[in-house]
Amino acid sequence: MDYWTRGRTLGHGSTATVSLATSLQSGDVFAVKSAEISRSEFLQREQRILSSITSPYVVGYRGCDVSRENKKLMYNLFLEYIPGGTLVDVIQANGGRLEEEMIRHYTWGIVQGLDYLHSNGLVHCDIKGRNILVGSSGAKIADFGCAKRVESGAGMPIGGTPMFMAPEVARGEEQGFAGDIWALGCTIIEMASGGAPWPNANDHDPVSMIYRVGHSGLLPEFPCCLSEQARDFLDKCLRRDPKERWTASQLLKHPFLGESNSLSKQETNSSSNSPTSILDQGVWNSLDEPESLEIINLGHTGGLSSAGERIRGLSLDSGEPSWDWDDSWITVREGSSWRCDRIMGDVEARDDDVFSCDSVMEEGAGSKELLSVLLDINISCRKNRWDSWGDCKYGGDSFVSSSNLYFDRDRDTLLHPVMSRSLLQT
């Protein structure tokens, strides 16, 4: 990604922050997950996993790069933007718990995703509501920082969220496909109850939680509001012996999911709720947030007060845009077109390119560390390609972004001259 802007923060974890982002070349809207290079091990693992898979039930991979922000090297993972938020957001928006029909619908998408991952030898290792994104087509599995391939799992540490861990995982014995199925059952309880799968659980005491899950011999409590069919489905997921749990392929044939198949397939084939351009409906509702990068006012004082409202005004209720031109429009380009077909191509990291990056090598960035990072993630560092963010600061688990941006090349070809001058004056 040559030129892109970071918008408002969508969420953050212990090591990474997720922000809304826009490509300045193509106008593509996507999510960017960022972490300092020194803390990007899980993010790089996620990149390697996501770049090797494609499924409508898994969040889409859009590329990656390394940027220098506030004198720090940042690893950025570009992902499909799904404006519906996480499953936890959906639960909260529906009064704290979901009706069984919604639970069935989202469960069907999660199981479809797990069936795809498991058939490709992948274990997610951290299925829970916060790691499920929801769009118009249903649920999509996200956050692959703990994921691993079965053949390489023996030498990898066990990870995940204690409250959603299977008993054998909590005991440190194994973390395989059956562990994801147990976590699916816990997520269904989360949807039905709006709370933790284990009653009286303490998030701040993971040691006692792990002991309770692994050694108590107990099961999470099944919500009484669920039908017998749904409770039977839960029983197939939440069995303490991993060999007795159903596989994702078997669960797709369970009667509890049977009624959701036709609806889910129709929605999967319909238009997605994941916008790919700033012209898509709904995107400007996000970009106009106060935390977003400021949109330059070009002097228009007509009925629509902001750039977001002007673009939003192009769209009718039917979803078909109206491109009628009038004197209030400003011609930015005429007689030419440009777009970015790929967010990030296959590139090389050559020694002469790496060590010519003055903007990266200054501020004490060690050449050996930088070179190893670039070779590991297969990203080239070409002279004068590093974007500098004016006042973007990283503090703890959040970013503060400003519109004080500077780009190393092609200013005049990327931006209208009036906008370019306004941007440089901010």
Q: Which residues are annotated as a binding site for ATP?
A: 33
The tokens for 95 are: 């009064």
As a whole number of angstroms, the distance between CA 266 and CA 288 comes to 32
For 295, counting Cβ atoms within 10 Å of its Cβ (0-12 exposed, 13-18 middle, 19+ buried), the class is middle
As a whole number of angstroms, the distance between CA 106 and CA 263 comes to 11
Helix (H, G, I), strand (E, B) or coil at 122: strand
Active site residue 317: no
Amino acid letter for position 124: H
As a whole number of angstroms, the distance between CA 77 and CA 63 comes to 6
The tokens for 417 are: 């001259």
**Rounded to whole angstroms, what are the CA distances from 91 to 10, 188, 190, 272, 367?**
17, 11, 9, 21, 47
Residue numbers belonging to the annotated binding site: 33
Round to the nearest angstrom and report the end-to-end CA distance of the chain: 24
Tell the residue number behind the tokens 């009653």, with chain if given: 199
CA nearest to 77, candidates 55, 46, 52: 46
φ, ψ of residue 37 in degrees (nearest 5): -50, -40
Instruction: From the candidates 28, 65, 115, 126, give the one annotated as an active-site residue.
Output: 126
Active-site amino acid positions: 126
